[in-house]
Every structure is written in C-alpha cells, then in structure tokens.
Amino acid sequence: MATDNHRPEPNRTLELLWGVQQPPSRGPKPALSLRQIVDTAIAVADAEGVGAVSMRRVADELGFTTMSLYRYVPSKTDLLELMVEHASEVPDVPPELSGWRDKLRWWATDTAQIYQRRRWALDVPLNAPPMGPNQIKRMEQALAALDETGLSGGEMVGILVVLSGYVRGHAQLATTLADVESRTGASQQAWDTAYGRMLTEFVDPERHPTLARIVAEGGFENGQDEDEWLDEDFGFGLELVLDGIARYVERRQGSMSPE
Amino acid sequence: MATDNHRPEPNRTLELLWGVQQPPSRGPKPALSLRQIVDTAIAVADAEGVGAVSMRRVADELGFTTMSLYRYVPSKTDLLELMVEHASEVPDVPPELSGWRDKLRWWATDTAQIYQRRRWALDVPLNAPPMGPNQIKRMEQALAALDETGLSGGEMVGILVVLSGYVRGHAQLATTLADVESRTGASQQAWDTAYGRMLTEFVDPERHPTLARIVAEGGFENGQDEDEWLDEDFGFGLELVLDGIARYVERRQGSMSPE
DNA sequence: AGCACTTGGTTTATGTTGTACACAGTTCTA
DNA sequence: TAGAACTGTGTACAACATAAACCAAGTGCT
C-alpha cells in the first residue's frame, strides 16, 4: 500500500498522541525516538519560546539532519501538538479534596500552573479539538468533579468551557503582560511608557469617563510584579466563576426530580 | 537624526493605531495609504484566513511591490495588530439597555459576533497589551456598564478579565470545531471519525468513567451544526458568568459603607 | 532660482523556514 | 538469496520577512 505521506491525516496524529505504534520489524533500528524529539522541542520552547522551535533547530540539538525528524513526525504542526500534549502532565486529583468546588479550584489552579510553566503553550495555534491522553485526562477530572452535582453531560461540558476559558484567558493576559519584552523585542519600559502615553494622551475623558477615572485613581499602577502570576487576581476571577457555577447548581437542584 | 528604522518601537505602533500622523510635506505624494493596506489585508484574511496574509500577497492585491508596504507599516507584526484593531468596529451601547447585567450581556454578545465574523482575529498572536482605540472603547464600555455597581476599579477589571476570557474562549472553541477543515486541510469527516475513534477506542471507562458515561449517553453527538455559533451554548455560559458577577456584587454591596 | 533634504516606490539580495524527493545503507521476510 | 520495508542523508525548492541601495518626486531655505 502506498504511503502517500504528509497530507494531514487525523488518524495518524491521533495514534502519535496516544503512542499506539507497534514497532516495525523489517527496517534498521531507529536511532531516534518520537519521545526524544518532542522532549528536545519542548526544551527549546521552554528556553526560547515556541518561535525558536524549527525543524532544523530541533534536529541540530539532537545531532541529526532536519529531514530525519520526518521519519517520526508527519509535520511541524503535529510536532507542536505533541509538544503541548507532553508538556502538560496531569497529576491525580488530591484525594483529600471533597466537593466539586474544591476539586474544581484545584483543577483550575493546576491548569494555570501548566500555562505558567510552559508559557509557549498558549502560542501554539489551536487547529483541532484536543485529542491527547493528557488533555482527555484533564477533561475527565473536571467532569468527574462536577458529576456529584447531578447535572447532565451537556451542562457539565458547558460549565467546563466557562472554567477553562477563564483559566486560559487569565493565563494569556498574564503572560502577555509579563513577557512583552521577550515577545516584542522592545523593552518592558518602552511598552510601559507607550501604554501610559496612550492612557493619558489618547484616552479622552469625555469618551472614556470610567476608564479615565480608574486611571486617575491609579488603578493601572498595580503593574507587573514579576510573578504575580497565580496571585489574588487569579483567585478573584476563579471564585467568581465558581460562584456562578454554584448558583446554577443550586437552582438546578432545586428544580430536579428527586431520584 | 538617524531614523534607525524597524527595531520594534511601541510608540510608533501606538501612533499608527490611533492614526496620529501629520502628513509630511516634503516628499512625493503617497500613492497608497495605511488604510488601504490594512483593508486589503483584512479582506484577504476574511477570505482565506490570516495564514494567507503575507506582505507579498497584500502588495500584489494592491498592485504595488512588496517593499512599498514598508513605507507605511514598520513590520508585519504591526500590520496584524492594525488589522485586529480595524476589524472590530465598536457600536455604541444601545441606550435602551439599563442595568449592568443587560449591558454586559449585550457587550459579550457583540464581542462574540466580532470573533464570529473575523475568525482569523483569534489566530493573530497576542504579543502586547491591546492599545488601539477600538480595543479601548470596548474596554470602556464594559467598565462603564459595571460602574453602577459601585465596585472599585480593580474589581471591575478583574470581572472584565473573566467575562472577556469566557467570550474569547468560547469563540476559540467554536471556531476550532467549525473550521477544522480549512485549518488542517483534512476533511471534517476525517476528524469526526478520528475523534470518535479516540472516544471509543482509547477512552478507557476505568480511567475515564464520567467521560465514558457522557459519551455513552450520546452527549457528544450534538456536534457541529454549521452556525451553532451564538447559540444556547454561548448563552448558557454567559448567564453563568453573569450570575457569578451578580453574586459578587450582592455580597459586596451588602458590606459596603453607605455613601 | 537653485540646492539640500525628505519621502515614495522599486530592485536586488539575504537568511530562514517547512518539506518534497531521490538515494544509500540496514534489517527482516519469503 | 531476492526483495520489501525501513532509516537517515543530501539536495532542492518555493515562500517568507525584511535589509540596503537607488532614483524620482516633491518641499523649504537661501
């Protein structure tokens, strides 16, 4: 059967993600492994961002030619997906946690920590639904936490979208603010002054009364203490989301037929 | 003074975004304009996604050379930022709306509509805090809606992060699911079967009991009716977030010193 | 009126990228 | 033992962003 390689094949991607591949028996022993490739790629991304990850770079790091990688990975896109999958190992939910709220709080915080450690993960373009084992495990955890509420599957998924949206959104914002320098090549300070200039010079208090007032109150000074990452801000929004969920659950349970 | 062009200069970007530039008087008349460039770039992105936007492509579309664009835009990065800014015109809040909840609901829905119309906007890498007039106007609107609650600036900003995170997150998910085909080059169907395979073949009911149950119940069949975009799902999460905000506001107002 | 200077658009060139393709060596199977 | 399946390499290509040098077109100063 002709291999007809390299037009994207979801099934191949899927199999790579789940690591199902009986090693072929006829050829020479591979000197490399998917694992190695993905790990080096992750190392590069950790150190210099996902922009530094090129096929050439990864291959060089391993001491092989660029093209050798293509014996293990169908395309760079797949490599990126594999990176994300492998970069987010999922610990088990601490067993001492009980109640959906505590579990979800843990879940959200842990997810946020991943984004914090692997900031580049947010830069990987999201082209297909997440299908990797870790992604799925994470999904299962959140759904399992919600299971005790007795909500329907659809409702639980809806809630999950909200929660993970918040986590991702917060992370996105935090990284953007924290990493302007490495991302743009201009100094942190240059951005700060530009932003300040925008607020004072261009924000017309007529058109933007609320914003102007907040600025005047100094509400934009809190700025970027280095690792303000998993700080109050994150907790603030998180509890707010959890409150929303709680209210929904309450209302829903009130109107549910007893089992 | 030497111009030392093209190392990223936030101030230049800022000025481009706000359109402050007294036209120079000494050179030949420009045959092009920033506006035209950005508009064509947007048109290309609308039609074929942001991946199709290259300097070459935009210039060709306009009948100019690639390099001519650089007389108007310092870099492609800036062009992308300008595209996002211009692509999201912000209507005024309908005056008949009263109460923060209605206003925020409108705001969220309108924002989501932008993402729906300009799906490519979600693909533009976010490297710096949003500084364009439209972004700012949108921010002002949300803050203004919240102003009546009497919360502090910091609290309002925190809430805004949650809300916009949700909107963006939902949009991200919806587009990803809806546009797999154009994004990956593999057919919708191929992805569906791969996903189904994943759910049935790889999702071990031992390890993923909740997920497995939901799948068994058919909870993943709702699938992708073409423009299920601004549907119940969006409203579901939105009300949930609004509920969270409401609860926070209530609690906060209960403990506030009367003016 | 003339000259310097600024600006716009083109041409040419450079380095980097992902990946197609053909090949040579290796290992197993028939 | 012939060939099929497989690995890693070398070469090649098209697309990309953008730097540099250049000429023509205008403006302002003297």
Regarding predicted confidence, which is higher, B48 or A4?
A: B48
Which of the four pLDDT bands, split at 50, 70 and 90, describes residue A227?
low
Q: How far is CA A206 from the centre of its chain?
A: 39
| Same domain flag for A128 and A233 | yes
Which of the four pLDDT bands, split at 50, 70 and 90, describes residue A222?
low
For residue B7, list chain A residues with Cβ-Cβ distance below 8 A. 185-186
A48 touching B (Cβ < 8 Å): no
CATH number at residue A132: 1.10.357.10
Average pLDDT of chain B, as a whole number: 92
Share of chain A above pLDDT 70, in %: 92
Q: How far apart (Å, rounded) are the C-alpha atoms in residues A61 and A40?
A: 7
| Same domain flag for B228 and B138 | yes
Q: Please check the confidence at residue B156 and state whether its pLDDT lies above 80.
A: yes
* B184 is near strand C: CB distance < 7 Å: no
Please report whether residue A259 resides in a domain. no
Which of the four pLDDT bands, split at 50, 70 and 90, describes residue B4?
very low
| Same domain flag for A174 and A209 | yes
Please give the sequence-ordered ranges of beta strands (E in DSSP) within B98-140, or none if there are none.
none
Residue A23 token pair: 């090693």
Looking at CA atoms only, how far is residue A63 from chain B in angstroms? 30
- Cβ atoms of A113 and A132 closer than 8 Å: no
A67 touching B (Cβ < 8 Å): no
A137 touching B (Cβ < 8 Å): yes
- Cβ atoms of A193 and A199 closer than 8 Å: no
Nearest CB to B144; choose among A169, A191, A210: A210
| Same domain flag for A159 and A79 | no
Residues in Cβ contact with A7 at an 8 Å cutoff, skipping those fewer than 6 apart: B185, B186
- Cβ atoms of A231 and B161 closer than 8 Å: no
Instruction: Give the residue among A122, A35, A34 at the shortest CA–CA distance from A84.
Output: A122
Q: Please check the confidence at residue A147 and state whether its pLDDT lies above 90.
A: yes
For residue B8, list chain A residues with Cβ-Cβ distance below 8 A. 184-186
Model pLDDT for residues B215-232, shown as the tens digit of each residue: 998 777 655 454 565 577
Which of the four pLDDT bands, split at 50, 70 and 90, describes residue B176?
very high
Tally C-beta pairs within 8 A across A and B: 245
Q: Which residue of B has its CA nearest to A124?
A: B125
Q: Please check the confidence at residue B257 and state whether its pLDDT lies above 80.
A: no
- Cβ atoms of A170 and A186 closer than 8 Å: no
Q: Which of B53, B87, B121 is the last residue of a domain?
A: B87
Optimal mutation site among A5, A7, A12, A14, interface B, most CBs of chain B within 10 A: A14
Q: How far apart (Å, rounded) are the C-alpha atoms in residues A233 and A168?
A: 14
Which of the four pLDDT bands, split at 50, 70 and 90, describes residue A128?
very high
Q: How far apart (Å, rounded) are the C-alpha atoms in residues B147 and B142?
A: 9
Please report whether residue B2 resides in a domain. no
| Same domain flag for B16 and B43 | yes
| Same domain flag for B83 and B106 | no
Contact (CB<8Å) B127/A180: yes
Specify the number of domains making up chain A: 2
Contact (CB<8Å) A153/B214: yes
Please report whether residue A178 resides in a domain. yes
| pLDDT for position B218 | 79
Contact (CB<8Å) B240/A165: no
> Residues 89..128 of B with a Cβ closer than 8 Å to A: which?
123, 125-128
| Same domain flag for B62 and B104 | no
Measured at the CA of A186, the angle between CA A181 and CA A188, to 5 degrees, comes to 50
Please report whether residue A1 resides in a domain. no
| pLDDT for position B136 | 97
Looking at chain A, how many residues does it have? 259
Model pLDDT for residues A16-52, shown as the tens digit of each residue: 999 998 889 899 999 999 999 999 999 999 999 999 9
Q: Which of A64, A87, A110 is the last residue of a domain?
A: A87
| Same domain flag for A73 and A46 | yes
Q: How far is CA A112 from the centre of its chain?
A: 8
CATH number at residue A66: 1.10.10.60
- Which nucleotides of strand D lie under 7 Å from a protein CB? 3-11, 15-21, 24-28
Measured at the CA of A222, the angle between CA B138 and CA B139, to 5 degrees, comes to 5
CA–C1' gap, B83 and D19, in angstroms: 24
Residue A181 token pair: 């320098």
Please report whether residue B155 resides in a domain. yes
| Helix segments in chain A, DSSP class H | 10-18, 34-48, 55-62, 76-87, 100-117, 133-147, 153-178, 180-184, 188-197, 209-216, 232-254
Average pLDDT of chain A, as a whole number: 92
Please report whether residue B95 resides in a domain. no
Q: In angstroms, what CA-CA distances link A6 with A27, A40, B134, B180?
A: 20, 22, 41, 17
Tell me which protein residue sits closest to nucleotide D6, measuring alpha carbon to C1'. A27
| Same domain flag for B50 and B131 | no
| Same domain flag for B36 and B138 | no
| Same domain flag for B39 and B148 | no
What is the extent of the structural domain holding A47?
10-87
Please report whether residue B1 resides in a domain. no
Q: Which of A36, A56, A87 is the last residue of a domain?
A: A87
Which of the four pLDDT bands, split at 50, 70 and 90, describes residue A219?
confident
B194 touching A (Cβ < 8 Å): yes
A198-211 mean pLDDT: 95
> Residues 171..190 of B with a Cβ closer than 8 Å to A: which?
172-173, 176-177, 180, 183-186, 190
Please report whether residue A14 resides in a domain. yes
Q: How far apart (Å, rounded) are the C-alpha atoms in residues B108 and A174?
A: 21
| Same domain flag for A74 and A160 | no
Q: How far apart (Å, rounded) are the C-alpha atoms in residues B194 and B191?
A: 5
Q: In angstroms, what CA-CA distances link B204 with A115, A119, A137, B24, B209?
A: 27, 30, 10, 67, 8
Tell me which protein residue sits closest to nucleotide C26, measuring alpha carbon to C1'. A28
Model pLDDT for residues B69-117, shown as the tens digit of each residue: 999 999 999 999 999 999 999 999 999 999 999 999 999 999 999 999 9
